[in-house]
């Protein structure tokens, strides 16, 4: 077996050194990984600081342009937000397989010395354009003038209306109060219920309180009816005659005259009854009272 010559000894030593350097213990690899991570963090911080400084410089440029050429554009004056720098973390080297060779330390040193460059993008500032003049607000249409309210014309004092003349010199009917109307209605109800004495009393009280009312002639007539129903023909005749004398324009005159003739007929005064019936037919022709008077006059002996 031939032995290696002296010229092969340097190569053997170099190969042994490389193999010894490749087979480092695990602690040395962990230290290199930590160093790489620290370097990456430092690069990220440095990139962020560069972005902040770049934004400050752009703001200063915008302020200088605003002082030199008018108000800066809103887009240029606003500080640009720093663009986030995407740094791809270097994945930790995987542990080599037993069969494969370990990565040489020279490769790790090259990665540490030459990190990926940070991409910087220059933002073009827009040129200073002349700002349009501010718009003036459109003139508001003037509100229509509201005419001042006309001064009220002083009304002429109204003269009192002349009093209506009463050719017959009869008293003007009085307006009934609710209490007096109730008193009259009570007498009318009592009469139809057959309480003639109480009914006459209510009508008498009504006449005393309302001697000139529009129902005064009616009350006087019903007083005569109350007496006639009690067979008091003399008192009834006096009441009916008072209706004709006191209220000659009333609506109960014809009925009062007819009832007066009946009172005379009941008292035996046939001639007086005939004259009274004839007078009713003469003064109120065509009325119900006149028809009844003619019928009763025809039956007289």
Tell me, what's the pLDDT at 177?
A: 84
Residue 9 has pLDDT above 60, yes or no: no
What confidence tier does 45 reach under pLDDT thresholds 50, 70, 90?
confident
Tens digits of per-residue pLDDT, 273-287? 999 999 999 999 999
pLDDT at 162 over 70: no
Provide φ and ψ at 213, rounded to 5°: -80, 170
What residues have CB less than 8 Å from 219, skipping those under 6 apart?
A: 184, 187, 203, 206, 207
User: What pLDDT does 175 receive?
Assistant: 75
Q: Is the pLDDT of residue 154 over 50?
A: no
- Which of 16-25, 154-163, 206-215 reaches the highest mean pLDDT? 206-215
- Which pLDDT value is given to residue 2? 43
Comparison of pLDDT for 155 and 291, the residue scoring more: 291
Of the pLDDT bands very low, low, confident and very high (cuts 50, 70, 90), residue 62 is: confident
DSSP state of 213: B
Average pLDDT, the chain: 73
d(CA 211, CA 281): 29
Give percent above pLDDT 70 in the chain: 56
Does the pLDDT value for residue 268 go beyond 50? Answer: yes
Q: What is the pLDDT of residue 131?
A: 53
What pLDDT, on the 0 to 100 scale, is given for residue 75? 42
Average pLDDT (74-99) is: 46
Residue with tokens 């004056």: 77
Residue 187 contacts residue 206 (beta carbons within 8 Å): yes
Instruction: Tell me what pLDDT residue 74 has.
Output: 42
pLDDT band at 186 (very low <50, low <70, confident <90, very high): very high
Give pLDDT tens digits for 192-242: 999 999 999 999 999 999 998 999 999 999 999 999 999 999 999 999 999
Q: Could you state, in order of their start, the residue ranges of all structural domains in the chain?
A: 22-92+102-113, 178-299
pLDDT value at residue 252: 95
Query: In which band, very low, low, confident or very high, does the pLDDT at 48 lie, cut at 50, 70 and 90?
Result: confident
* pLDDT value for 1: 41
Contacts 24+ apart (CB under 8 A), 105-113: 105/21, 105/24, 105/32, 108/32, 108/36, 111/36, 112/35, 112/36, 112/39
Task: Give pLDDT, residue 141.
Answer: 55
Highest CATH level, class, for 178-299: mainly alpha
Beta bridge partners of 213: 174
Residue 145, pLDDT > 80, answer no
pLDDT higher at 114 or 136: 136
The mean pLDDT value for 22-35 works out to 74
């Amino acid at each position: 077996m031939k032995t290696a010559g002296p010229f092969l000894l340097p190569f053997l030593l170099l190969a042994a050194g490389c193999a010894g350097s490749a087979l480092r213990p695990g602690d040395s690899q962990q230290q290199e990984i930590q160093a790489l991570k620290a370097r990456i963090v430092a690069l990220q911080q440095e990139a962020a600081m560069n972005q902040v400084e770049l934004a400050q410089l752009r703001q200063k440029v915008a302020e200088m342009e605003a002082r030199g050429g008018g108000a800066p554009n809103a887009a240029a004056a606003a500080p640009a937000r720093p663009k986030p720098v995407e740094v791809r973390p270097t994945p930790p080297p995987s542990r080599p397989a037993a069969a494969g060779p370990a990565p040489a330390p020279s490769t790790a040193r090259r990665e540490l010395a030459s990190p990926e460059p940070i991409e910087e993008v220059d933002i073009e500032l827009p040129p200073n354009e002349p700002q349009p003049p501010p718009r003036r607000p459109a003139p508001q249409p003037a509100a229509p003038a509201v005419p001042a309210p006309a001064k009220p014309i002083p009304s002429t004092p109204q003269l009192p209306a002349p009093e209506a003349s009463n050719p017959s010199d009869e008293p003007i009917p009085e307006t009934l109060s609710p209490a007096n109307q109730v008193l009259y209605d009570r007498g009318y109800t009592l009469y139809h219920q057959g309480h003639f004495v109480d009914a006459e009393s209510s009508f008498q009280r009504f006449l005393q309180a309302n001697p000139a009312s529009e129902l005064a002639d009616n009350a006087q007539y019903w007083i005569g009816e109350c007496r006639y129903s009690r067979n008091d023909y003399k008192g009834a005749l006096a009441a009916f005659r008072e209706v004709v004398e006191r209220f000659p324009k009333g609506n109960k005159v014809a009925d009062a005259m007819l009832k007066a003739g009946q009172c005379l007929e009941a008292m035996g005064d046939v001639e007086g009854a005939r004259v009274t019936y004839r007078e009713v037919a003469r003064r109120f022709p065509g009325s119900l009272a006149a028809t009844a008077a003619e019928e009763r006059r025809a039956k007289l002996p």
